[in-house]
């Protein structure tokens, strides 16, 4: 599973879902390791000054790393408050322009890019138009690179979902989104194609996949704040969400020594535009 594996029925709700909590999102969401961006450069041949399009930049977590490579970054973000925070966070970079729009409705004004990057955002793009649009805005030989986080667990380590399954069922019974993360070793075997998103068919060539283990550590309150930034929890009524997350924080304090991990396999999936 990704951090946000299931978008709301209307993907245009993305702006609302995360736009409610841009500062929280920026503070608690995991970033992307430097090794990933080194591999992105090696795989795509990305050079300083090259035009890069980022789809769904959020508050600019991946954008900062792209900008630091010296790329000319056009970042598209549908949430007005998220985009505003990204502009503030990226103000020191003269090579970044943040535009407020969905990718589907964004006016490319004839611009073409060497690489399109989507960091934990491509699953929000309408698949009936997204891949074709990605192909069309890339220059010949261009690349699409999808970055993401797959939540995993490791054997023998206490895991929050296992420790709080009863709380989730008590406050929100029968929700199909609850579930224990897969083992890290199991996820590493699923390195074909584009992951959980729809396949682009013949629009892009074979996919190159790289994995990067990462981990965040939280106390109980911090873990609850992290969950508040996820679409699965943002979609709950506040009257359900807040008592549930208060109970999760208390469970982490009392049963897990007020220390809980959020483990990921961060992933880079890259494919070249087919001509």
Instruction: Kindly report, residue by residue over 92-135, the tens digit of the pLDDT.
Output: 999 999 999 999 999 999 999 999 999 999 988 998 899 999 99
Cα 250 versus chain centre, distance: 27
For 210-227, what is each residue's pLDDT tens digit?
999 999 999 999 999 999
Number of domains the chain contains: 1
- pLDDT exceeds cutoff 50 at 5: no
Quote the percentage of the chain above a pLDDT of 70. Answer: 90
Task: Report pTM.
Answer: 0.85
| 233-242 confidence digits (pLDDT tens) | 988 999 999 9
Q: N- to C-terminal Cα distance for the chain? A: 32
**pLDDT confidence tier of residue 30, bands split at 50, 70 and 90:** confident
How sure is the predictor about 24, in pLDDT bands with cuts at 50, 70 and 90? low
* Residue 108: inside a domain: yes
Is the pLDDT at 52 greater than 90, yes or no? yes
Distance CA 213, CA 102 (A): 30
Task: Flag whether 150 is in a domain.
Answer: yes
pLDDT in tens, 36-47: 999 999 999 999
Nearest to 268 by CA among 88, 104, 40, 38: 40
**Phi and psi at residue 173, in whole multiples of 5°?**
-65, 140
In sequence order, what are the beta bridge partners of 113? 138
Say what the pLDDT of residue 2 is: 43
Structural domain for 76, as ranges: 11-273
Determine the pLDDT at residue 245: 97
Could you tell me if residue 159 is inside a domain? Answer: yes
* CATH assignment of the domain containing 161: 3.40.50.150
Could you count the other beta carbons within 10 Å of the beta carbon of residue 219? 16
Residue 230 has pLDDT above 80, yes or no: yes
Residue 21: the pLDDT is 59
How far, in Å, CA of 226 to CA of 248, rounded? 11
Answer yes or no: is pLDDT of 1 > 50: no
Q: What number of other Cβ atoms are within 10 A of residue 228's Cβ? A: 17
Residue 146 maps to a domain: yes
Of 106, 129, 89, 12, nearest to 53 by C-alpha is 106
Taking phi first (over 0 means left), then psi (-120 to 50 degrees means alpha), and beta for anything else, what does residue 58 get?
A: left
Distance CA 256, CA 48 (A): 46
pLDDT of residue 171: 95
pLDDT tens string 90-99: 999 999 999 9
Assigned domain for 254 exists: yes
What element of type H or E holds 196? none
Q: For residues 54 and 63, what is the distance between their CA atoms, to the nearest angstrom?
A: 7
∠ CA 139-98-43, nearest 5°, is 40
Quick check: is 44 in a domain? yes
Task: Look at residue 1 and tell me if it is in a domain.
Answer: no
Q: Return the pLDDT at 224.
A: 95
Alpha carbon distance 183, 111 (integer Å) = 42
Beta bridge partners of residue 138, listed in sequence order: 113
Residue 88 falls inside a structural domain: yes
Q: For residue 247, give every residue at least 6 positions away whose Cβ sits within 8 Å of its Cβ, in sequence order, or none.
A: 164, 167, 170, 171
The angle that helices 238-255 and 220-228 make with each other, rounded to 10 degrees, is: 150
pLDDT at 15: 45
pLDDT for 6 beyond 50: no
Residue of 31 and 204 predicted with greater confidence: 204
Band (pLDDT 50/70/90 cuts) for residue 78 is: very high
18: confidence class by pLDDT, cuts 50, 70, 90: low
Percent of the chain topping pLDDT 90: 69
DSSP labels, 201-235: GGGEEEEEEEEEEEEEEE-HHHHHHHHHTSHHHHT
Structure confidence by residue, pLDDT tens digits, 243-266: 999 999 999 999 999 999 999 999
């Amino acid at each position: 599973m990704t951090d946000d594996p299931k978008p709301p029925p209307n993907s245009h709700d993305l702006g609302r879902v995360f736009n409610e909590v841009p500062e929280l999102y920026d503070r608690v969401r995991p970033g992307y390791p430097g090794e990933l961006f080194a591999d992105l450069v090696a795989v795509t041949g990305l050079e300083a000054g090259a035009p890069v399009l980022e789809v769904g930049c959020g508050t600019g977590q991946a954008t900062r790393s792209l900008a630091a490579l010296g790329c000319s970054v056009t970042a598209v973000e549908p949430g007005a408050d998220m985009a505003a925070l990204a502009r503030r966070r990226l103000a020191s970079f003269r090579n970044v322009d943040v535009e407020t729009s969905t990718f589907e409705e964004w006016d490319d004004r004839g611009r073409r890019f060497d690489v399109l990057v989507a960091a934990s955002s491509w699953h929000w793009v309408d698949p009936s138009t997204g891949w074709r649009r990605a192909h069309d805005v890339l220059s010949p030989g261009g690349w699409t690179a999808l970055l993401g986080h797959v939540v995993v667990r490791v054997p023998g380590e206490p895991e929050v979902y296992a420790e709080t399954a009863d709380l989730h069922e008590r406050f929100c019974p029968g929700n199909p989104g609850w579930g224990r993360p897969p083992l890290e070793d199991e996820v590493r075997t699923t390195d074909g194609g584009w992951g959980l998103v729809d396949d682009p068919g013949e629009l892009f060539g074979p996919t190159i996949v790289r994995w990067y283990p990462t981990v965040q550590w939280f106390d109980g309150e911090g873990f609850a704040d992290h969950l508040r930034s996820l679409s699965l929890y943002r979609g709950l009524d506040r009257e359900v969400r807040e008592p549930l997350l208060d109970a999760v924080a208390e469970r982490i304090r009392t049963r897990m020594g007020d220390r809980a991990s959020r483990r990921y396999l961060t992933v880079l999936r890259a494919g070249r535009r087919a001509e």
